[in-house]
Amino acid sequence: MSSELLQIIDLPKISDHRGSLTFIEGSNHIPFNIKRVYYLYGVPSGELRGGHAHFKLQQAVIAISGSFEFILENAKGQKERVSLDSPNKALMISNMTWREMANFSAGAVCLVLASEFYDERDYIRSYEDFKTQAALLKGNN
């Protein structure tokens, strides 16, 4: 287990007999300026998503509904598998982290808050390239 990879932020949760409410105030709760929001839904049972890393992008991921797993690997080669199922918990994913997503439950909704606008040039979509970039980073440190 690597606590470096497993950074989970507890978001506010206000509950009463009517149910629960969670809110996110930009930099008050998430440690970057949110430039983009997107969400994954309607993922068929057994389908995998992800399989890439980002040079620069930082993200916060929330299981708004249902559950799914993230399998993470950072540039140091540390690995973590985490299941998300709480709408008031945000998993932080740093840049240079390889991620795969699996085991989406029926009706799962994965909300992602992103530090940058969409830019395909920021993606590393080959695992081999990710390991090469990670080795370069190691060499520089």
DSSP 54-66: ESS--EEEEEEES
Pick from 50, 81, 94, 127: which binds ligand T46 (CB under 6 A)? 50
Nearest alpha-carbon partner for 41 in 139, 116, 112: 112
Window 94-123: contact mask with ligand T46 (x via CB under 6 A): -----x------------x-----x-----
Q: Out of 17, 29, 52, 54, which one is annotated catalytic?
A: 52
Give me the DSSP letters along 32-53: S---EEEEEE-PPTT--EEEEE
17 is catalytic: no
Which residues participate in catalysis according to the annotation? 52
Positions touching ligand T46 (CB under 6 A) are 36, 38, 40, 49-50, 59, 99, 112, 118
